[in-house]
Chain A
Amino acid sequence: MTFPVELFINALIAGILLGGFYAAVTVGVSISFGILDIVNIAHPAFVILGSYIAYIVNQRLGVDPILTALMVLPAFYALGALVYQVYYVSFEKRGQEALRGLAFFFGLLFVTEVTLILVFGVDYRYVQAAYIDQTIRFGAFDLPMRMLIPCVIALLLLASLQLFLTKSYTGRAIMAVAQDQMALQLMAADPIRIKRIAFALSIATTAIAGALLIIIQPVEPSVGREYIGRVFAICVLGGLGSLPGTVIGAMLLGIMESLTATFYGPSWAPAVAFGFLLLTLAFRPAGILGR
């Protein structure tokens, strides 16, 4: 049997495009977990929420999902700020974030999922847009627009967040709060406010990630669960809190999953991410670009 080169390259391309999208889903966790040390396992639930909002607006008004995402960005930012405030007052301030904070986010994940099931049922939902069915062809290689556009938007999102974190005053304060909260306080910046901004930002990214998700695949409420392992695998793999690391980790995972799905069948794909995570945790917990 000869090695199917074309199939391999197509799978590789699909993997890279998928990886770009994974980076968008993960970047929020890279900020909340990687930088702020808040284990927000409910992150994928917010992504699914974003997907459903994009779905409703698309269904009723025919608006493009990405445009919708940009419009609801402030609302998601506010939601994030609210969640952080509750988290801070109830857990961080009392020093109970380890056990109860985790349970809190787990409960949040669960409540969101069940509420979505109650409202929308467990049917798969999808959006319509002109570009979704189009594909660019280079000889034997395919670039489906439904994957390409999310990947491009995701990389734009990552690049602008990286610029914000390294160049702006607030962004640098966010990086500083990860290193030394006390020192930041001495520089006359309120660490709680900075953390609230950062966490709100991390939730705001889920509006975009959700829209991208529903462009790529039909969504039902429990899809989010598959992403918990993925996002944390990528986050740990990329070295907590590093955005370039996030992109590399996401691309790696995307390629691995795409190759597995192509050569062994899609039913094995979920195990790849989690197997990857378990191995990373066991052998290189600091990640590839770890500090």
Chain B
Amino acid sequence: MRTPVFIVAALIVAATVYGLARLAGNDYVFFAGYVILQFVVLATAWNVLGGYCGYVNFGSAAFFALGAYTTVSLVKLPNLAAKYLPEGLASLVAATVPPPIPVLMIVGGLVAGLVGLGTGYLTLRLRGVFFAIATLALAVVLQTLIVNWDYVGGSRGAYVIRPQTLAPAGINYVEYLFVMMLLLSVAALTVARAIERSQLGYGFATIRDDELAAEASGVPTLRLKLVATTISGALMGMAGAPFPYYIGYLEPSSAFGLAYAVNSIAMPMIGGTTSWVGPLLGALLLGTLQQVATVTISSAVSLLLVGLLLVGFVIIAPNGLLGLFGSLRRRMGAARAAGESAKAGAA
């Protein structure tokens, strides 16, 4: 399937999902669905670097929070402008800020992408392990910065008032956020799929399989790794940008929660890392499971479930669900072939 065809198909699926969600006639569907879609984006973003290049990023929460806090800092901008800028400029700022959600997503993506590029540049020349450790470090450094930055609320957190409805269309704001996240998921999946089938994707795969050999045969490994980190970071930032509006009250410990890091690793690992389908599958399954477990049991138990599934899957099914399906299909194919040859032999 060519990319434009894929986009149309994905949009049709997205429209169907939205239609079904509306039919449910319950706002909770949008609340829960938003979280699951957010994980689809995060898992897909993680997989661009983790699955395609084989570099583990433990700092998903940091990139996510970067997007969220970019939004907070923009939302707070009018206060700052009123204090320091002349009257005319201040009212101009108040009129344009905060920009609509899609713009916020792009700005958040830019910031997170740049930080991804910087981190990658500092650490990607070393062995992969050091990059993984550095991303862990990045999350804590950023969290400390945010905690000490009063402008965005510091450790007290920041309130972001969510409008009841979207002004011109009059639809529920959470529904609007849901649609935005749905479109972002389509975008993220399209990007991931396009990378997979491009020269870039083959370059990434050579890095994953044998970096030294790739480097020796002229693959510009550092540059490719930087591209992957930037794309991955930017997508995570975009997923985080609408979050303050969704949650209404953002504090550092929730924005930098370990749940984001563990989920964005567990979902691709459980789904399968070699294709864009894996993270999608993992995010849908695990996201839904967590929503159900959070409501019926408790959020701590639902996190424990994710952790146990992650450990279980990497031990027992290293290639995730996709790997399981693949081997199942091969086995059935082999059985059918054996049956046919037996029939042919009998005839």
- Say what secondary structure dominates the interface of chain B: helix
Is B54 at the interface (CB under 8 A from chain A)? yes
Contact of B54 among A98, A267, A270 (CB under 8 A): A98
Contact A267 B318 (CB under 8 A): no
Chain A residues, CB < 8 A from B303: 110, 114
Total contacts A-B at CB 8 Å: 127
**B residues 298-347 with Cβ under 8 Å of A?**
300-301, 303-304, 306-308, 310-311, 314-315, 318
Q: Assuming A98-B128, A274-B138, is B144 touching A103 (CB within 8 A)?
A: no
Nearest chain B CB to A164 CB, angstrom units: 26
Chain B residues, CB < 8 A from A225: 140, 258
**What are the interface flags for A100-131 relative to B under an 8 Å C-beta threshold, 1 for contact and 0 otherwise?**
10111011101101110110000000000000
> How far does the alpha carbon of A270 sit from the alpha carbon of B315 in the complex, in Å?
33
> How far does the alpha carbon of A115 sit from the alpha carbon of B306 in the complex, in Å?
12
Chain B residues, CB < 8 A from A267: 144, 147-148, 155
Chain B interface extent, by class = 35 or more
Chain A residues, CB < 8 A from B300: 114, 117-118
**A residues 248-286 with Cβ under 8 Å of B?**
267-268, 270-271, 273-275, 277-278, 281-282, 285
Most buried by B among A106, A267, A281, A282: A106
Contact of A99 among B54, B306, B310 (CB under 8 A): B54
Chain B residues, CB < 8 A from A239: none
Chain A residues, CB < 8 A from B130: 236, 281, 285
Is A60 at the interface (CB under 8 A from chain B)? no
- Say what secondary structure dominates the interface of chain A: helix
Contact B307 A107 (CB under 8 A): yes
Nearest chain B CB to A239 CB, angstrom units: 14
**What are the interface flags for A175-216 relative to B under an 8 Å C-beta threshold, 1 for contact and 0 otherwise?**
000000000000000000000000000000000000000000
Is A142 at the interface (CB under 8 A from chain B)? no
Chain A residues, CB < 8 A from B269: 100, 103
Contact B304 A118 (CB under 8 A): yes
Contact A281 B56 (CB under 8 A): no
Q: Point out residues on B near A: beta carbons under 8 Å.
A: 50, 54, 56, 58, 119, 122-123, 126, 128-130, 132-134, 136-138, 140-141, 143-145, 147-148, 155, 258, 261-262, 265-266, 269, 273, 300-301, 303-304, 306-308, 310-311, 314-315, 318
Q: Give me 11 other A-B pairs in contact (C-beta within 8 A), A102-B132, A118-B301 excluded.
A: A94-B318, A99-B56, A103-B265, A106-B262, A107-B314, A110-B262, A229-B136, A229-B137, A232-B136, A278-B137, A281-B130
